[in-house]
Amino acid sequence: MIRRANSKKAQLQIMENVFTIIIIFIILIIAFFFTVVMQKQDQKKIEEESAALNVIKKSQVLSFLPELKCSENNNIDPDCYDILKIEAFIRQINEDNFYYRTLLGNMKFEIVKYDPSPEINSELQRWIVYDNPKPKDMGFTQVQFPILLKDIVSNRAYFGMIFLEVYK
């Protein structure tokens, strides 16, 4: 009888140990999944920050392209784009764009000219200055900012917008 009681106690202790191991194993699995989810969220945040920095970098490169800027007495106006220079730049890119592909990368750069009169808000002209999409379409981040467009031939100024799409 004592032997039976001891064997039942031993079986109960073994069962307690097995359940304890199972509970610890379940807690470890939950902790592992929690860690994986947190790391995925951190990775997504890092990718978003990297994409935002890439857009800022590309817009800064465009801001310092003298090939497109208005200039008077060798002084370059930072927010002014010359329409004649834009058209010449597009022809240059179509002929030899290796330099600009390495400089600008995968992005689309458009300039839109609007009518300056207050009662008409219409698009007059659109130039796709540069477009180099990635082979796999993963979407893009778009930024737009206003600029001044000068037509040196007619000596007129227009309101314009730059639409910058940086491919992910």
One pLDDT digit (tens) per residue for the chain, 168 residues = 556 667 788 888 889 999 999 999 999 999 999 999 999 999 999 988 888 888 888 888 887 888 888 888 777 877 889 999 999 999 888 887 788 888 888 899 999 998 767 666 678 899 999 988 888 877 888 888 899 999 888 888 888 999 998 888
Is the residue at 21 inside a domain? no
Is the residue at 9 inside a domain? no
CA distance 126 to 37: 45
Is the residue at 74 inside a domain? yes
Would you state the pLDDT for residue 37?
Answer: 93
- What is the total residue count of the chain? 168
Is the residue at 42 inside a domain? no
Calculate the CA dihedral of residues 139, 64, 86, 107 and round it to 10 degrees.
-10
Q: Name the pTM for this structure.
A: 0.70
Range of the domain at 106: 66-167
Q: What is the CA radius of gyration of the chain?
A: 31
Is the residue at 70 inside a domain? yes
Is the residue at 59 inside a domain? no
Would you state the pLDDT for residue 54?
Answer: 83
CB 106, CB 133: distance < 8 Å: yes
Domain total in the chain:
1
Would you state the pLDDT for residue 35?
Answer: 94
Would you state the pLDDT for residue 120?
Answer: 66
Is the residue at 156 inside a domain? yes
Is the residue at 12 inside a domain? no
CA distance 154 to 151: 6
